[in-house]
Structure 1
Amino acid sequence: MPSPTLGADHPSAPPRTVSVRRRWAMLAVSTAAQASSATMVHGPAFLIPVLHDRGGMSLAEAGLVAAAPMAGLMCTLVLWGVVVDRRGERLALLSGISGVVAAGLAAVLVDGPWLVAAALFVAGASSAATNAASGRIVVGWFPPERRGLAMGIRQCAQPLGVGLGALTMAVLAEHVSISAALAVPLVAAAVALVLVALLVIDPPRPPATERSGAPNPYRSDRYLARVHGTSMLLVVPQFVVWTFGLTWLVDELGWAAGFAGVVVAGTQLIGALGRIGAGHLSDLVGSRTRPTQWIAWAAAGTMLALGIAASGSGPVVVAVAVLLLVVASAVTVADNGLAYAAVAERAGAFWSGRALGIQNTGQYLVASAVPPVAGVVITAWGYGAAFSLAAAFGLVAAALVPVAQERALT
Structure 2
Amino acid sequence: MLAVMVLGQAATTVVVATPAFLIPYLHQYEGMNLASAGLLAGAPHLGLVLSLIAWGAAADRYGERNVLIIGLALTVLAVAGSMLAHGFVMLGVALVVSGAMSACINNASGRLIAGWFPAERRGLAMGIRQTCQPIGMAIAAIAVPTLAIHYGILGALAFGGALTLIALVCCVAAVVDPELAPRTVAALGSNPYRESWTLARIHAVSVLLVVPQFVLSTFGLVWFTVDFGWSALAAGALVATAQLLGAGGRIVAGIWSDKVASRLRPLRQVAIAGVVVLLVAAAFGWAEWAIPAAIIFVVASCVSVADNGLAFTAVAEIAGPQWAGRALGTQNTGQFLASAVVPSLVGGLIGFVGIPAALALVALTPAIALPLIPSELDAQRTATRQGRSAGNRPTSSPAR
TM-score (norm 1): 0.83
**Alignment pair present for 1:112 and 2:86:** yes
Structure 2 counterpart of 1:190: 165
Structure 1 counterpart of 2:329: 357
In structure 2, distance between residues paired with 1:64 and 1:375: 9
**Contact in 2 for aligned 1:307/1:384 (Cα 8 Å):** yes
**Contact in 2 for aligned 1:297/1:398 (Cα 8 Å):** yes
User: Following superposition of structure 1 onto structure 2, how do residues 188-227 of structure 1 map, counting pairs within 5 Å?
Assistant: 188-206=163-181, 214-227=189-202
In structure 2, distance between residues paired with 1:102 and 1:388: 40
* Correspondence for 1:153 among 128, 138, 158: 128
* Correspondence for 1:369 among 335, 338, 341: 341
Pick which of 302-311 and 349-358 moved more. 302-311
Change in 2 beyond 3 A, CA 1:102/1:255: closer
Structure 2 counterpart of 1:18: none
Q: State the 1:134 CA deviation.
A: 0.6
Structure 2 counterpart of 1:247: 222
**Alignment pair present for 1:281 and 2:256:** yes
Q: State the 1:402 CA deviation.
A: 1.1
Structure 2 counterpart of 1:8: none
Q: State the 1:172 CA deviation.
A: 3.5
Structure 1 counterpart of 2:239: 264
In structure 1, distance between residues paired with 2:154 and 2:10: 20
Q: State the 1:332 CA deviation.
A: 1.2
Structure 2 counterpart of 1:402: 374
In structure 2, distance between residues paired with 1:393 and 1:58: 26
Q: Matched residue pairs, number?
A: 381
User: Following superposition of structure 1 onto structure 2, how do residues 7-406 of structure 1 map, counting pairs within 5 Å?
Assistant: 26-47=1-22, 67-108=42-83, 110=84, 112-113=86-87, 117-176=92-151, 178-206=153-181, 214-312=189-287, 319-404=291-376, 405-406=378-379
Change in 2 beyond 3 A, CA 1:167/1:391: closer
Change in 2 beyond 3 A, CA 1:42/1:321: closer
**Contact in 2 for aligned 1:40/1:123 (Cα 8 Å):** yes
**Contact in 2 for aligned 1:299/1:394 (Cα 8 Å):** yes
Q: Partner of 1:205: helix, strand, or coil? A: coil
Higher Rg of the two aligned structures:
1
**Contact in 2 for aligned 1:211/1:350 (Cα 8 Å):** no
In structure 2, distance between residues paired with 1:337 and 1:129: 18
Change in 2 beyond 3 A, CA 1:250/1:58: closer
CA shift digits 1:366-390 (9 cap, x unpaired): 2233334434554554444332332
In structure 2, distance between residues paired with 1:269 and 1:324: 15
In structure 2, distance between residues paired with 1:244 and 1:58: 13
CA shift digits 1:334-356 (9 cap, x unpaired): 00011111111111111111111
AA aligned to 2:332 is N
AA aligned to 1:385 is A
In structure 1, distance between residues paired with 2:176 and 2:52: 22
Q: State the 1:115 CA deviation.
A: 5.3
CA RMSD, 1 decimal: 2.9
**Contact in 2 for aligned 1:96/1:130 (Cα 8 Å):** yes
In structure 2, distance between residues paired with 1:64 and 1:386: 17
| Structure 2: gaps (5+ residues) | 381-392
Structure 1 counterpart of 2:388: none
AA aligned to 2:44 is P
In structure 1, distance between residues paired with 2:114 and 2:215: 30
**Contact in 2 for aligned 1:86/1:350 (Cα 8 Å):** no
The one of the two structures with greater contact order (alpha-carbon pairs below 8 A, sep at least 6) is 2
In structure 1, distance between residues paired with 2:80 and 2:21: 18
In structure 2, distance between residues paired with 1:381 and 1:357: 35
Change in 2 beyond 3 A, CA 1:189/1:378: closer
Q: Partner of 1:196: helix, strand, or coil? A: helix
Change in 2 beyond 3 A, CA 1:323/1:164: closer
CA shift digits 1:66-121 (9 cap, x unpaired): 5443332221011101101111111111111111122233444x363465554443
In structure 2, distance between residues paired with 1:255 and 1:49: 12
CA shift digits 1:284-341 (9 cap, x unpaired): 111111111111111112222333343346x6xx654433222111111100011111
In structure 1, distance between residues paired with 2:90 and 2:368: 43
**Contact in 1 for aligned 2:81/2:94 (Cα 8 Å):** yes
In structure 2, distance between residues paired with 1:377 and 1:28: 39
**Contact in 1 for aligned 2:59/2:67 (Cα 8 Å):** yes
Pick which of 236-245 and 328-337 moved more. 236-245
In structure 2, distance between residues paired with 1:212 and 1:308: 51
Q: State the 1:149 CA deviation.
A: 1.2
CA shift digits 1:153-211 (9 cap, x unpaired): 11111222233333334433433454443332222112111111111111122467979
In structure 1, distance between residues paired with 2:146 and 2:222: 20
In structure 2, distance between residues paired with 1:55 and 1:104: 21
Change in 2 beyond 3 A, CA 1:253/1:59: closer
